């Protein structure tokens, strides 16, 4: 019997839209076999017509609640972008982020548990899977945020400055999605990987050149890479004449952290093949 892990329960929950306890029971009964658990749940009527991988919730919305000193950023997923624009879904997201902020939650697990009855009621009403996926709470001297529609959200914490400055930096992060805050935070592995890519792509250009020239070329590329990858070295989107670091420093502030959420990041979305779907429906109609 396979171990019934939290990750396995979460996957079954995402694929069926059922509650955590029901998913755990189904997996236990199926000996940890997720496909058998789905078949058993379908056979018992617990889920009606979900394809085995068709209930993956990879759309949805990002929500942020803050007061200038703290903020919560939350991702709630739906199966379709259409549902993410509907009032019932928006109300669930709003209630969830309000609760997360009021209760000072730093992890999604207690919010998922508290909102499970409301989530199940929403799923039953709309016929589509909905999941609270993740949240983060950010606190600091100054905390500002930016939402790009409902798909990308950023929270920035500053030491000094003001909320408007933090919002400007958050908007920049939403546009560029930097990997790191400072050049010093870029790992040696990332730098070596970039060196390898540069040498491979420029093999013809460096062939036959003296080692010191090649070293200077590589050094120039790495300097550019560090500037591209680290927030403080990037040209500010609203004024490319200054870097983000220089902008913040001019205001007597320092960036402490940034948190970037994008809907569906890291979720493998099912690939729909319309022709195959139609063929399957035609075949089924002939049986």
| 51 lies in the same domain as 119 | no
Looking at the structure of the chain, the number of domains it has is 2
Q: Tell me whether residue 130 is in a domain.
A: yes
**β partners of residue 156:** 144, 258
Q: Which CATH number belongs to the domain containing residue 21 in this structure?
A: 1.10.8.10
Owning domain of residue 30: 6-55
Residue 125 and residue 30 share a domain: no
Q: Which domain CATH number covers 110? A: 3.30.479.20
- What element of type H or E holds 65? strand 59-66
Mean of the per-residue pLDDT values for the chain? 87
So what's the pLDDT on residue 187? 84
Q: Is 160 found in the same domain as 66?
A: yes
Are both 71 and 165 inside the same structural domain? yes
pLDDT digits (tens, 9 = 90+) for 153-204: 999 999 999 999 999 999 999 999 998 999 988 888 888 988 888 888 888 8
Same domain, 69 and 124: yes
pTM above 0.95, yes or no: no
Indicate if 37 and 106 belong to the same structural domain: no
């Amino acid at each position: 019997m396979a171990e019934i892990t939290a990750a396995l329960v979460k996957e079954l929950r995402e694929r069926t839209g059922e509650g955590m306890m029901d998913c755990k029971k189904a997996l236990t009964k199926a000996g940890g076999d997720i496909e058998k658990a789905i078949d058993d749940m379908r056979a018992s009527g617990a889920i009606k017509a979900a394809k085995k991988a068709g209930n993956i919730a990879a759309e949805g919305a990002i929500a942020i609640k803050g007061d200038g000193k703290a903020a919560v950023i939350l991702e709630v997923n739906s199966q379709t972008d259409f549902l993410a624009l509907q009032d019932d879904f928006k109300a669930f997201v709003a209630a969830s982020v309000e609760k997360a902020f009021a209760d000072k939650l730093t992890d999604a697990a207690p919010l998922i548990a508290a909102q499970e009855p409301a989530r199940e009621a929403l799923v039953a009403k709309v016929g589509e899977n909905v999941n609270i996926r993740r949240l983060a709470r950010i606190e600091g001297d100054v905390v500002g945020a930016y939402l790009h529609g409902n798909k990308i959200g950023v929270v920035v914490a500053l030491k000094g400055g003001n909320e408007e400055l933090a919002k400007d930096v958050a908007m920049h992060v939403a546009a560029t999605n930097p990997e790191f805050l400072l050049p010093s935070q870029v790992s040696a592995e990332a730098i070596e990987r970039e060196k390898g890519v540069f040498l491979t792509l420029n093999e013809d250009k460096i062939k036959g050149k003296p080692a010191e020239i090649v070293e200077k070329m590589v050094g120039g590329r790495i300097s550019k890479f560090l500037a591209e990858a680290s927030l403080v070295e990037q040209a500010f989107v609203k004024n490319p004449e200054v870097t983000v670091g220089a902008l913040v420093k001019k205001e007597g502030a320092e960036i402490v952290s940034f948190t970037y959420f994008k809907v569906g990041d890291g979720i493998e979305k099912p690939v729909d093949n319309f022709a195959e779907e139609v063929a399957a429906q035609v075949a089924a109609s002939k049986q």
